């Protein structure tokens, strides 16, 4: 049970290390007859790669997906779809210096203890690059969801101590896709400052899902909220998840929190959306809103105390090219995981 | 795929409605040879039931578990263990008035839309009483984990706007099991005020897991953090989950967040625990710390706007006996879900 | 992973030992809105119990199912349905003599080795009585399948060396439900002879499933044929499974085996059905026909060589009341497992 | 739920069509630290490909596996292992003539009805070539099992009406790996006759698994026998599965069938093995013996009646190069599926 498969009906199995031959995914349970929009999937991949955004790593990789199966004459066949990315731009020498020690706040230590062996180059499978596979699969899910009128968009609402206040979600642009264009400037400043200081910052991404029908999710253990939490928190560096008012709910009174209802011409309207679109674990037709918190990137060019593989004390300074903030590139990954979760829930709701 | 089964190797299937004949669970994959400590399981159940704590519903139910299978001569046999609770103290008449409308912030609306039918009595399966099954199963898991040196304890760290500040986790007592005994007084005051005002409040529960070996959890989609998020957020009324510094991570710099390491006599020590005990999705041997946010209970004796089953506008005032705050009774449920998650991860780590 | 849950979308979790408090099942993923026909389910249970047929054990048990959850006002709610049977007619004293040895061809030895502990009374969970849970769940599945026009019926086509030859499947009656009423007489004679001789016989059950739409089953690992094999061979004492011509296929030429096709007024007709209704693992609309082989019942009142728990040589003579042939009571179990498999496949095919 | 993943702890996800870019598999849950014996895996692949045996298709393909992930410095890392085969020797033109009709006894009809679209070239995913992915994964499983002392070997015991009688399993050689070298000559004659007559024949493969410890398999639904049935019957063209005496059990008396036991120096010996190594669904330490029946290959160069995609009557003559008997190449596939099943069961048994 390697834990590399996500989903119940629509499943995604990912594989690949940062410096192995290729990364990829196998998407299974995807319905037949959906036009395979290669360009759209590639564009989603492009949102992720460094070089696409200047706030991240100053490194260029071309992530061109290669489709190995499951598509015929431009349409999905119902058969498993394998998409791979061949690794082209790797600098093994960047990492050889740290193959015998554990970088603080990276998975090096836990992988070594758990497996007795790890591919240390570029972080191996713990590399942020692993998310490429998720984005490819998530892009495919977005195509399906679009046919059902479901759309997903995410943006940055916090970097370090700077929070978005006046939010407009209609047109997210820029690298951070921040709904508060004013605050975005301060956010970028925080990131650049961190880069200059050889430090890193974290942030919060908010995601909006519109067009969800009533009834997705299962009442007990597969609540849509818990499935989303499971999906989002599996993204590396994610340390928190909340839906609707989230942790703010704890401060509110019931009279303020409850979303009252009114009927209007055969339709049910909610007078507020503190729930974030999910009631009793099931979507209520309202916009689903959730947030994910990301820790500051572990790799910083500062000396830190750590231990070697032989458990001797040493220090570690991670040279090389890395992100002072991974939030910008995590946005499309958050959307991808949300898409996979929603599509899976949608298919499950059809099975009756 | 009804979503009523939790876990991969150690599985729990729950069933039962608030006003049906019985509630219960079937625990499968539980190893043979573990002494079945009935009294301990019953004591965990007692922590949950109303009447056990005066802050909750002023109603008394005796939840005596009845073991139907899987135990022989006081020891588990490796066969599935079914435990049930027969429902004894129900007041159907309390609910008949609201069978044709949807109570705001309850699952009534979503269940009706999803299934076309719902057992409205006491909230049916959406009732908080459903968690009894989880607590019974979780108690069993705690017994196993104890043999491995793993202990779980949770307590309240926030009620409404009152937060615990000076925390001592050594001896949690009282109804809220708050680690800050001073603040606890204010917390109780908040709850009583809400009760008198026919309102409700929410809160935050924090959980500490000690004794976890290094290596639990899987790197990609079954990160221990995401499995815990999935488990905890499946508890009704839970609107947020965070691990380690959680949402506070977003504000921190990498230089402050990173948990540096030192070796001491063959052991690895972490100089801090901002990660909350999980690195790269895998336990690192440090104490696991997470928090869960709970919304204020939906049922309040105030008039609220809602709609009927026929989608006509109406108002709703939920009379009867209900909690102004469900946090106190959720504590043992949080521990139970954490126990089930940890035990499952433990068994998975043995499969190699 | 106790292996006590069957199915992917429609799941059945069973529990209970022969001499425990109760046996039962939890059915999850069952759609809402289906009328719960208690009498039909009870009648299926009655087909199974000893006393219902004189060819089996001369023992009487009343298996009255008790519904604990998931049904409201006579209709399924979509919530998990728990049905239990309380054990009433047990003779513990019958088994105490053999608690320290392993009865040949029973699961005693393997259970003891695997778990280190076993409930020896009546065979514990290896008892044929365990199938009661399956029959209850299968009956529920039959109700659903009936609404889709799918019907399942099984009958005996072989006992010992006596095979059915001139088969009429229209009206199966009698204890063996044999489609060849002439041969049935010889079959019954075989069974009675075995009883008098303190011996036992085996047999073969054939099952016909009509009304299956085209498209059930998945092409690769979840072929409908392999799902059926998995389900049927999980029935105790089953040693073989074949579909269509089965093992006879091995002897045939392609020119004779291939089921040719003709179109008739917009419908596709198959000119033969050597495939048994499944092509490439997917149902083709034709009648599904499979057979299951059952070994002779292990418990015979003859002295057999075996070993004790302490691995000392001894002999074993299983006194008490037991079946010289379990085939008659396995018929409804075969139908039940087929029903669960078909319903699961049906629901899966809807998820797109 | 596409059904393209096999296994519970050790999982294999396969993908790829006969004429797509590549076929492959992702193996997950494979323990770390096992030396990756590339040559052995390649040799298993070679057993499968046409050209390796002259009894099959007169076509040559070089199936060279390419490892994309999960292996580092020649050892498995515990991360998912992706192995692909790029398709090189395809003759699309061979199939274009039949893209608008359904070949009898092939999956064409069912795929078209289920998906509304199918990759008709070479049978798409229903092609026998799909089994390459299984063989690669199964080879990996064999490497692991070998470290536990478990070995698997299969051979042909029947072709058409010719059955192996005097069997020696010690040294299986030749294309059919028949344990009866005399009968093998007749078997080969049957195949060649069929080829000359533009017809096809079926057969039966027998498999022996030695070194299995006591305790693999789960008592209820995951009996080792039913898991094996599920695995083996998922191989295309398989129409029957039996274990131990199989269908012959039905003819036997209990006194003859029961495997009696004797203790010898602390070990338990079975005086016979009619059970085929599995008791109560759990391995008993004895050799596991099972047989699988394969239908004659559907593709024959004879005119057969069928229908077009537009449901018009037509005839079909499948020209091109194909096997008069697929049994020889199915042998390694049977071993592969058995290996995957045994390894999965082994890992599951460790989880306690």
pLDDT tens-digit map of A18-51? 888 999 999 999 999 999 999 999 999 999 865 5
Residues in chain C with CB shorter than 8 Å from the CB of D274 are: 295
Angle at A277 between CA B160 and CA C350, to 5 degrees: 140
Cβ(A52)–Cβ(A46) below 8 Å: yes
Cβ(C112)–Cβ(C102) below 8 Å: yes
Q: How far is CA A246 from CA A67, A272, B54, in A?
A: 39, 15, 27
Beta bridge partners of B240: A242, B293
Residue of D45 and C128 predicted with greater confidence: D45
Predicted pLDDT at A52: 53
Query: Structure tokens of D249?
Result: 């059990």
Residues in chain D with CB shorter than 8 Å from the CB of B351 are: 9, 29, 347-348, 350-351
Whether residue D219 and residue C107 make contact (CB cut-off 8 A), yes or no, is: yes
Instruction: Please give the Cα distance from C68 to B17 (Å, whole number).
Output: 9
Which whole number is the average pLDDT over C177-194? Answer: 96
Map tokens 């709904």 to a residue.
Answer: A179
- The answer to which of B48-62, C323-337, D96-110, D281-295 has the lowest mean pLDDT is B48-62
The counts of H helices and E strands in chain B are 7, 18
Query: Structure tokens of A225?
Result: 């909220």
Q: How far is CA A65 from CA A81, B49, D26, D34, in A?
A: 12, 55, 18, 31
Whether residue B70 and residue C20 make contact (CB cut-off 8 A), yes or no, is: yes
Beta bridge partners of C158: C163, C204
| Residues with Cβ within 8 Å of residue C182, at least 6 apart in sequence | C166
Residues in chain C with CB shorter than 8 Å from the CB of B33 are: 115-117
Distance from CA of C334 to the nearest CA of B (A): 22
Instruction: Please give the Cα distance from D245 to D255 (Å, whole number).
Output: 14
D286 CB neighbour count, 10 Å cutoff: 22
Predicted pLDDT at A58: 43
Whether residue C280 and residue D106 make contact (CB cut-off 8 A), yes or no, is: yes
Residues in chain D with CB shorter than 8 Å from the CB of A17 are: 69-70, 72, 77, 79
Predicted pLDDT at D58: 43
Q: Are strands D304-307 and D261-264 parallel, antiparallel or unpaired?
A: unpaired
Instruction: Please give the Cα distance from B27 to B15 (Å, whole number).
Output: 12
Of A31, A219, A352, the CB nearest to C352: A31
3-class SS of residue C209:
strand
Distance from CA of A115 to the nearest CA of C (A): 22
Cβ(D241)–Cβ(D235) below 8 Å: no
Cβ(A232)–Cβ(A321) below 8 Å: no
Instruction: Please give the Cα distance from D8 to B85 (Å, whole number).
Output: 32
Predicted pLDDT at A91: 57
Does an H or E element contain A255, and which? helix A254-257
Beta strands per DSSP E along B123-221 = 151-159, 162-163, 203-210
Query: Which chains sit next to D, with 3 or more Cβ pairs under 8 A?
Result: A, B, C
Q: How far is CA D140 from CA D11, D43, D69, D145, D335, in A?
A: 12, 12, 14, 9, 12
Instruction: Please give the Cα distance from C190 to C160 (Å, whole number).
Output: 7
Query: Structure tokens of C258?
Result: 């291939």
| Residues of chain B numbered 230-259 and touching chain A (CB < 8 Å) | 230-234, 236, 238-247, 249-255, 257-259
Predicted pLDDT at B59: 44
DSSP state of C287: P
> Quick one: closest CA in C to D204, which residue?
C250
Query: Structure tokens of C241?
Result: 């499974």
Instruction: Please give the Cα distance from D308 to A22 (Å, whole number).
Output: 41
Cβ(C32)–Cβ(C26) below 8 Å: no
Residues in chain B with CB shorter than 8 Å from the CB of C84 are: 68
Instruction: Please give the Cα distance from B37 to B143 (Å, whole number).
Output: 8
Residues in chain D with CB shorter than 8 Å from the CB of B352 are: 31-32, 347, 350
Q: How many CB pairs under 8 A join A and D?
A: 166
pLDDT at position C310 over 60: yes
pLDDT at position B94 over 90: no
Q: A351 phi and psi, to 5 degrees?
A: -85, 80
Whether residue A13 and residue D24 make contact (CB cut-off 8 A), yes or no, is: no
Instruction: Tell me the mean pLDDT per 10 residues along chain D, length 352.
Output: 94 91 96 96 86 50 85 94 85 67 86 86 75 96 98 98 96 93 96 93 98 95 97 97 97 93 88 94 96 92 87 83 88 98 96 88
| pLDDT bracket for residue C91 (50, 70, 90) | low
| pLDDT bracket for residue B222 (50, 70, 90) | very high
Whether residue D230 and residue C225 make contact (CB cut-off 8 A), yes or no, is: no
| pLDDT bracket for residue C302 (50, 70, 90) | confident
Residue of C58 and A262 predicted with greater confidence: A262
Does the CB of B264 have a partner CB in chain D at under 8 Å? Answer: no
Instruction: Please give the Cα distance from B109 to C285 (Å, whole number).
Output: 39
3-class SS of residue B275:
coil
B59 CB neighbour count, 10 Å cutoff: 16
Does the CB of B350 have a partner CB in chain D at under 8 Å? Answer: yes
Of D243, D240, D312, nearest in space to D281 by CA: D243
Whether residue C261 and residue D307 make contact (CB cut-off 8 A), yes or no, is: yes
Q: How many residues does chain B have?
A: 352
Predicted pLDDT at D59: 44
Predicted pLDDT at C293: 98
pLDDT at position B252 over 90: yes
Angle at A45 between CA A39 and CA A46, to 5 degrees: 90
| Optimal mutation site among D10, D26, D69, D351, interface B, most CBs of chain B within 10 A | D351
Whether residue C32 and residue A352 make contact (CB cut-off 8 A), yes or no, is: yes
Which whole number is the average pLDDT over B255-270? Answer: 90
Cβ(C277)–Cβ(C291) below 8 Å: no
Query: Which chains sit next to C, with 3 or more Cβ pairs under 8 A?
Result: A, B, D
Cβ(D31)–Cβ(D76) below 8 Å: yes
Instruction: Please give the Cα distance from B284 to D12 (Å, whole number).
Output: 29
Instruction: Please give the Cα distance from A111 to A94 (Å, whole number).
Output: 20
Beta bridge partners of B313: B307
Whether residue D348 and residue B79 make contact (CB cut-off 8 A), yes or no, is: no
Does the CB of C307 have a partner CB in chain D at under 8 Å? Answer: yes
Predicted pLDDT at A140: 98
Does the CB of C349 have a partner CB in chain B at under 8 Å? Answer: no
| Residues of chain D numbered 189-218 and touching chain C (CB < 8 Å) | 194, 199-204, 214-215, 217-218
Does an H or E element contain C257, and which? helix C254-257
3-class SS of residue A338:
helix
Whether residue B347 and residue D351 make contact (CB cut-off 8 A), yes or no, is: yes
| pLDDT bracket for residue A59 (50, 70, 90) | very low
Distance from CA of B101 to the nearest CA of A (A): 11
What number of CA atoms fall less than 13 Å from residue A42's CA on the CB side? 10
Of C204, C226, C268, the CB nearest to D250: C204
Of B110, B221, B227, the CB nearest to A284: B110
Instruction: Please give the Cα distance from B29 to C159 (Å, whole number).
Output: 37
> Quick one: closest CA in C to D283, which residue?
C110
Cβ(C101)–Cβ(C10) below 8 Å: no
Of D270, D276, D286, D177, nearest in space to D228 by CA: D276
Predicted pLDDT at A12: 97
Distance from CA of D329 to the nearest CA of C (A): 15
pTM equals 0.94
Over residues B284-321, the pLDDT tens digits come to 999 999 999 999 998 888 888 988 888 889 888 877 66
Query: Structure tokens of C48?
Result: 């199974």
pLDDT at position C50 over 60: no
Sign, CA dihedral A339-A345-A351-B1, equals: positive
3-class SS of residue A229:
helix
Q: A36 phi and psi, to 5 degrees?
A: -90, 100
| pLDDT bracket for residue A309 (50, 70, 90) | confident
| pLDDT bracket for residue B168 (50, 70, 90) | very high
Does the CB of B27 have a partner CB in chain D at under 8 Å? Answer: no
Predicted pLDDT at A51: 56
- What average pLDDT is seen over chain B? 90
Cβ(A259)–Cβ(B298) below 8 Å: no
Whether residue D29 and residue B347 make contact (CB cut-off 8 A), yes or no, is: no
Instruction: Please give the Cα distance from C241 to C204 (Å, whole number).
Output: 10
pLDDT at position B52 over 60: no
Residues in chain C with CB shorter than 8 Å from the CB of A351 are: 9, 29, 347-348, 350-351
Of C6, C201, C246, the CB nearest to D240: C246
- The answer to which of B85-94, B269-278, D110-119 has the lowest mean pLDDT is B85-94
Residue of D308 and A276 predicted with greater confidence: A276
For chain C, give the secondary structure using H, E and C.
Answer: CCCCEECCCCEEEEECCCCCCEEEEEEECCCCCCECCHHHHHHHHHHHCCCCCCCCCCCCCCCCCEECCCEECCEECCCCEEEEEECCCCCHHHCHHHCCECCCCCCHHHHHHHHCCCCCHHHHHHCHHHHHHHHHHHHHHHHHHHHCCCEEEEEEEEECCEECCCCCCCCCCCCCCCCCHHHHHHHHHHHHHHHHCCCCECEEEEEEEECCCECCCCCCCCCHHHHHHHHHCCCCCEEEEEECCHHHHHHCEHHHHCCCEEEECCEEEECCCCCCCEECCEEECCCEEEEEEECCCCCCCCCEEEEECCCCEEEECCCCCCCCCCHHHHHHHHHHHHHHHHHHHHHHHHCC
| Residues of chain B numbered 120-179 and touching chain A (CB < 8 Å) | 125-126, 130, 158-161
Map tokens 């499943």 to a residue.
Answer: A11
Q: How far is CA A24 from CA A335, B124, B309, D25, D133, in A?
A: 18, 44, 48, 11, 16
| pLDDT bracket for residue B170 (50, 70, 90) | very high
- What average pLDDT is seen over chain A? 90
Of A189, A179, A164, nearest in space to A325 by CA: A189
Query: Structure tokens of D193?
Result: 């006759």
3-state helix, strand, coil in chain B (%, to 5): 30, 25, 45
Cβ(B275)–Cβ(B165) below 8 Å: no
Predicted pLDDT at A291: 98
pLDDT at position B209 over 70: yes
B5-350 sits in which CATH class? alpha beta
């Amino acid at each position: 049970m390697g834990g590399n498969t996500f989903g119940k009906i629509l499943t995604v199995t990912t594989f690949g290390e940062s410096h192995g031959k290729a990364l990829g995914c196998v998407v299974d349970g995807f319905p037949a007859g959906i036009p395979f929009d290669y360009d759209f999937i590639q564009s989603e991949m492009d949102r992720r790669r460094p070089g696409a955004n200047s706030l991240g790593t100053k490194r260029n990789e071309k992530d061109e997906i290669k489709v190995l199966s499951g598509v015929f004459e431009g349409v999905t066949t119902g058969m498993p779809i394998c998409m791979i990315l061949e690794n082209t731009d790797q600098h093994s020498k960047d990492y050889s210096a740290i193959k015998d020690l554990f970088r603080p706040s990276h998975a090096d230590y836990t992988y070594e203890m758990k497996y007795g062996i790890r591919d240390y180059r570029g972080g191996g499978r713990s590399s942020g690059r692993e998310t490429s596979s998720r984005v490819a699969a998530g892009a495919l899910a977005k195509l399906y969801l679009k046919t059902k009128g479901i759309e997903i968009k995410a943006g940055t609402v916090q970097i370090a101590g700077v929070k978005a206040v006046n939010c407009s979600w209609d047109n997210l642009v820029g690298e951070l896709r921040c709904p508060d264009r004013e605050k975005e400037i301060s956010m970028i400043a925080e990131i650049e400052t961190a880069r200059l200081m050889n430090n890193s910052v974290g942030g919060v991404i908010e995601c909006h899902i519109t067009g969800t029908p009533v009834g997705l999710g299962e009442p007990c253990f597969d609540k849509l909220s818990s499935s989303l939490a499971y999906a989002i928190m599996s993204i590396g560096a994610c340390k928190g998840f909340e839906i609707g008012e989230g942790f703010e709910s704890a401060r509110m009174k019931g009279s303020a929190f409850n979303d009252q209802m009114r009927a209007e011409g055969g339709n049910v309207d909610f007078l507020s959306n503190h729930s974030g679109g999910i009631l009793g674990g099931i979507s209520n037709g309202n916009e689903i809103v959730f947030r994910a918190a990301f820790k500051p990137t572990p790799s910083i060019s500062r000396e830190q105390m750590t231990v070697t593989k032989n458990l001797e004390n040493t220090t570690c300074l991670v040279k090389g090219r890395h992100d002072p903030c991974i939030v910008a590139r995590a946005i499309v990954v958050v959307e991808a995981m949300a898409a996979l979760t929603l599509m899976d829930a949608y298919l499950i709701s059809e099975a009756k």
